[in-house]
Amino acid sequence: MRQLVLDTETTGLEAAAGHRVIEIGLVELVNRRPTGRVFHRYLNPERAIDTAATEVHGLTDARLKDEPKFREIAAEFLAFVTGAELLAHNASFDLGFLEAELARLQPPPPALASCCRVVDTLTLARQRHPGQRNTLDALCKRYSVDNTQRDLHGALLDARLLAEVYLAMTGGQSTLGLDMGSNPNGQGSGPAVELRTLRAPVRTLVVEPTAAEWAAHREACVRIAKAAGGAVVFAALDPPLSHDLAG
């Protein structure tokens, strides 16, 4: 199964108000393993970026003025995502902006929802952790995903973090290493080589109490039973004690 973890950065919060996409980040997973393939583009939005948005992602009009426009990378973007399952945190936000960008093309291509299955990882997180904070930062903390580099939001960085969170939240992952060397079968190196640690069977050591320890246990249970005026739960550890206390 091919999945693409998606994140975007934008000029503002509302696509309906004419705000645009300025960064797209996609991280590819195949059969729940990262392949090392990504799609990452900065875009010239052809409009000003809100100050509040720049405070979140750090991108400015000057930084993006020489980047391509969405229409110039649209075909490449669609070729990369078609047929995949898209994973996004608060998917309606990212998909809403991308659908608005596609609608500006002439002729407009089919909607993303018609060529990709969409999974909202925020909805997934709320189902697993009801009543808790489920922001990306909160999930990174919950699943021990290192997000110390996330001083500012970034589409590719956030997509990578979300990929790790998703894999942990939905059952884990053998490794997220991008190049772990040759595999044991000598089939060469490549991204996401699965690592397995072979461990010897664990021998369980059982230490039985001595006769003196059992005697001390019985005496303690008798004292507790008298003080509490009822049965002692710990007496069940020593079957003979149940008879001793019955009278």
Q: Domain coordinates of the chain in residue numbers?
A: 2-169, 211-246
User: Which residues are annotated as catalytic?
Assistant: 153
Query: Residue 5's pLDDT is what?
Result: 98
How large is the average pLDDT for residues 179-207? 40
Query: Residue 238's pLDDT is what?
Result: 58
Report d(CA 208, CA 205) in Å as an integer.
10
Query: Residue 113's pLDDT is what?
Result: 87
212-241 pLDDT, tens digit per residue, is 887 888 888 888 877 777 666 666 565 554
Residue 189 has pLDDT above 60, yes or no: no
Report d(CA 142, CA 153) in Å as an integer.
19
Identify the CATH homologous superfamily for domain 2-169: Ribonuclease H-like superfamily/Ribonuclease H (3.30.420.10)
φ, ψ of residue 35 to 5 degrees: the values are: -90, -15
57-71 pLDDT, tens digit per residue, is 999 999 999 999 999
